[in-house]
Chains A and B, each alone.
Chain A
Amino acid sequence: MKYILMMHGQKDSWDEYARWSKEDLQRNVEFMQRFNKELRDSGVFVDTKGLAWPQEAKIVRAGNNGEPVTDGVFPESKEFLAGYWVIDVESPEQAYKIAARASAAPGPGGKPANMPIEVRQVLGSHTDLGF
């Protein structure tokens, strides 16, 4: 079963992240590289992507003529998707375990950042309902 693990960041935390020390950033980057390698080596990796900073994000809606109408940066929301992983695992518990590992990525001072990771199952194809 496939799960998407979404790492959310607070709007303010982007600015904070930009001011992390070199050591803190390096520790975090190395952790992520190691973590991704672990996912690959254990045969559960499907995909991962980090997203560009939300400063450049736009909300797009179709206008009356179908042309795009863009809104500036999310006016109301406080949380943003920072990046995601898609994994193929045997059970929800295994997905939660992997999410917890990602959440424990080191933050400032090397302490676990405990970022919230949203875990959602990816929709599959249908079985028989029995009727």
Chain B
Amino acid sequence: MDWREPSSDVPIGELLRKLTPQVLGLVVRRFRDFDAAEDAVQEASIAAVMQWPRDGVPDNARAWLTQVAFRKMTDLIRRESARRRRETEVVEEASRVSETGLDAAPVEDDALVLLFMCCHPALTPSSAIALTLRAVGGLTSAEIANAFLVPEATMAQRISRAKQTIKASGIPFRIPDAEERGGRLSSVLHVLYLIFNEGYTASSGRHLRRADLSQEGIRLTRIALRLRPENTEIAGLLALMLLTDARRHARTGPNDELIPLAQQNRALWDREQIADGVALLSAALPKGSVGPYQLQAAIAAVHDEAERPEDTDWPQILALYELLKRMSDNPMVILNHAIAAAMVRGPKEGLKLLDALKEDRRIAEHYRMDAVRAHLLEMAGDSQEAAKYYRAAAGKTVNLPERNYLLMQAARLTTMMARS
């Protein structure tokens, strides 16, 4: 099964992807049972796929879907009630719902609440990702499974367990309180970023389909921004995604080989997308407090705006990393900071910063540490040591294109030394 619907179904497929999360929001709010609501909406979508191509798409497609989903829920609860003699009140209330009443419902807020639920910190990252793609993104389990290269049954199981976790946790279906909201929003942004990255780190070529996860991450972040346009970190995240994704065609060669930033063919960068990202960021920055996503977007923008690698405004990047370092304790940020310091103040400065990380257990044994050290040693002219660290990094990475790249660097230096 392909990641996208076949072209003849695109209108209905796309319409359903847009509508099912809204309908799901309505059903969950009404019945307060996320697990069952998800199944009911899924059944309503199946009914739509069967009937709409034959009978035509109804004028109010959302109301149609909602009615079918409500009916499925009512049937479900009736069956349960007959067995357990309860919840009759809810059923009666639900049967009285009119279509007019549905349209008055604040659908947009429901989508936001869904997003908060699916990215709840009680869920593991992979469960939150799967659930978000399904409930908010409107993708099928098969499409999500395909994107993560696991069997469909595994993905269905993961989604079903995630729903159970939410049910068991008793999370109320509403926007989190003011005091909770900041933390919960950062979980949402983190999950959206992970979805984007999952697609971005997937190589081109044979895994082309997975790259659509980046597009899905961008689409979901756009939805989040539309719901909360005043939030500058959502804007920052969206800008970061656009500015990073703009380089996708340049970052791998024809055989999936890794091409580092300085060697990329910048003519392949997506200028339009860079302009969009820069515009978003420029609008967000003056509005309020600057968070880590806006800073990372700003760094990506500085890279993207350089015509040639040597035009890169490294002092600006270094200043941004210094701000970012104060905000987040992420060792990867510290590594990138060392690279920027080396570019501005020379490789010795960068190496000194790396030495300070020797005691940091999160990063000391990480291959990125060795890779950056090798890069800086090469800048400092120590080919012998650089080759040694490139090889050490190659031995530790779990990415094949990275391993090939790092071994190639070591081999290049060794050949160079033999010739001189």
Contact = CB atoms under 8 A, between A and B. Distances in A.
B380 interface: no
B372 interface: yes
A109 interface: no
Interface in B334-365: 335-336, 339
A40 B150 CA distance: 11
Contact of A130 (B126, B159, B335, B401): B335
B303 to A, nearest CB: 11
Contacts of A77: none
Contact of A131 (B148, B375, B400, B402): B375
B148 A88 contact: yes
A121 B335 contact: no
Interface in A106-131: 121-131
Contact of A124 (B251, B368, B398): B398
Given A88-B126, A125-B207, A127-B201, 7 more contacts: A43-B157, A44-B154, A123-B398, A125-B202, A126-B399, A126-B405, A127-B402
Given A43-B161, A129-B368, A88 B202 contact: no
B269 to A, nearest CB: 14
Given A40-B157, A43-B161, A125-B201, A131 B372 contact: yes
Contacts of A44: 154
Given A43-B161, A90-B125, A130 B154 contact: no
Contacts of A125: 201-203, 207, 256, 399-401
Given A121-B398, A126-B201, A131-B375, A41 B157 contact: yes
In this complex, the interface size class of chain A, counting residues with CB under 8 Å from chain B, is 20 to 34
A80 B398 CA distance: 24
A74 interface: no
B335 to A, nearest CB: 6
Nearest to B404: A126
B124 interface: yes
Interface residues of B, number: 42
A46 interface: yes
Given A43-B154, A125-B207, A130 B125 contact: no
18 contacts: A2-B149, A40-B157, A41-B157, A46-B154, A88-B126, A90-B125, A123-B403, A124-B400, A125-B201, A125-B207, A126-B201, A126-B258, A126-B400, A128-B251, A130-B368, A131-B260, A131-B261, A131-B372
B153 interface: yes
B372 A126 contact: no
Contacts of A84: none
By secondary structure, the A interface counts as: loop
Contacts of B335: 130
Contacts of A47: 151
Contacts of A121: 398
Nearest to B148: A88
Nearest to A129: B371
Contact of A88 (B150, B201, B251): B150
A124 B173 CA distance: 37
Contacts of A123: 398-400, 403
Nearest to B376: A131
A98 to B, nearest CB: 14
Instruction: Find the residue from A45, A123, A125 having the highest chain B CB count within 10 A.
Output: A125
Contacts of A1: 398
A40 B156 CA distance: 10
B72 interface: no
Contacts of B155: 43
Interface in A67-117: 88, 90
Instruction: Find the residue from A47, A127, A130 having the highest chain B CB count within 10 A.
Output: A130
B330 to A, nearest CB: 12
B78 interface: no
Contact of B154 (A40, A90, A129, A131): A40
B262 interface: yes
Instruction: Find the residue from B125, B203, B339, B402 having the highest chain A CB count within 10 A.
Output: B402
A13 interface: no
B115 to A, nearest CB: 21
- 4 closest A-B pairs by beta carbon, nearest first, are A43-B158, A43-B157, A126-B399, A126-B401
Interface string B196-220: 0100011100010000000000000
Contacts of B371: 129
A64 interface: no
Given A43-B154, A90-B124, A126 B203 contact: yes
B158 A124 contact: no
Contacts of B251: 128
Instruction: Find the residue from B127, B148, B154 having the highest chain A CB count within 10 A.
Output: B154
B248 to A, nearest CB: 11
A126 B207 CA distance: 12
A55 interface: no
Contact of B157 (A42, A90, A127, A130): A42
